[in-house]
Amino acid sequence: MSQPSVSPKGDENLSKPQTETPRPKKKGKSLPPKLIIKLGKFVWTTMWHIMMSNLAPRNKEGAYIRPSSQFRNFVGTEHGNPHQPEAGRYNLYVGLGCPWAHRTLVVRALKGLEETISVSVVSPSPTEGGWVLNQEEEGCRTLAELYQLAEPDYSGRSTVPVLWDSKKKAIINNESAEIIVMLNSQFNEFAKNPTLDLYPEELREKIDWWNEKIYHSVNNGVYRCGFAQTQEAYNQVCNELFATLDEIDAALETSRYLCGDRVTLTDVRLFTTLFRFDVAYYGLFKCNRRRIQDYKNLGGYLRDLYQLPGVASTCSLESVKQDYYGNLFPLNPGGIIPSGPDMTSLLEPHGRQSIGNTSGVVIS
């Protein structure tokens, strides 16, 4: 019997797998996760407050304080007024996403002033830090340059809307509440709907009462929610906002519009906020207790106003989403623009034609 062959010792060692003693892993020098989170929160919160202080001035309680408009002149026929009503002389500078500028477009459409007063569109630019003209006008590329052209020493905010006198190269007014009063009354000789009075004498007391309430709690209230910098400031204004929306909804139970069976400036002023509510304010501005479409009467009221002649053409959903979600960096750092909501529901029947109708002047 032959003996089994035995490999030399060296060959035997080669046939066995070689193993090495694992080296100890070096310990990283990263901060503990809790400390990273704490540091990140501190840095972001500090930066957020700095950015918000420029975007939205606040008081010591952290509540948003809207600065006042600075140009407050008027177009009128009174003797000595340098800004007399004329067709083709005046221009509106507007941002399509801005609710304050949107008011002027709605009144311009309702009165039929499209051929009398021209419109120039500006867009917000985060890199420029303000509004940029979609095309150069009056030798200006930005709205700030237009303000400087009108008032070389001006150092305030450059906001929309602007009612511009192209003959005088002057800003007449940049307060939307006053511009829409002028559009309603001072251009009737050129208007297609001169008999439409959105601020009738017999309703002015009621209109002014609603305007005051709606401005503070709703028009500016949504901004006070979105720009609040303390929980206490937010809680207070959020309660005011929805208390007023509840009050409006109750009033609309027996009245087609806020001041009766005819559209007034109050409805216009409220409409531009309601149009943006479910799109932007509900989510981005934390006004999320209830959507407008969830209200018994406000949803139909919004559809009613949207379907008035010429109004839908003033509404740009994509501009609203771009301006709010794309440009308000402190509120939406990622800049992601939501795909919804579906606003085709605004074209559905509103069923409000017969509510409180006393055979007054009604736009249908």
For residue 23, give the amino acid letter: R
Instruction: Judge contact between 163 and 182, C-beta under 8 A.
Output: yes
Instruction: Judge contact between 82 and 171, C-beta under 8 A.
Output: no
Quote the tokens at residue 76: 């009128």
Catalytic residues: 98, 223
Quote the tokens at residue 217: 């709690």
Contacts of residues 79-85 at CB distance under 8 Å and 24 or more positions apart, as own/partner, are: 82/168, 83/165, 83/168, 83/170, 83/172, 85/186, 85/187, 85/189, 85/190
- Give, as one character, the DSSP assignment of residue 160: S
Distances in whole angstroms, Cα of residue 26 to Cα of each of 20, 32, 290: 17, 16, 54
* DSSP track, 285-314: T---S--GGGSTTHHHHHHHHHTSTTTGGG
Instruction: Judge contact between 105 and 178, C-beta under 8 A.
Output: no
How many CB atoms lie under 10 A from the CB of residue 293?
A: 18
Stated length of the chain: 364
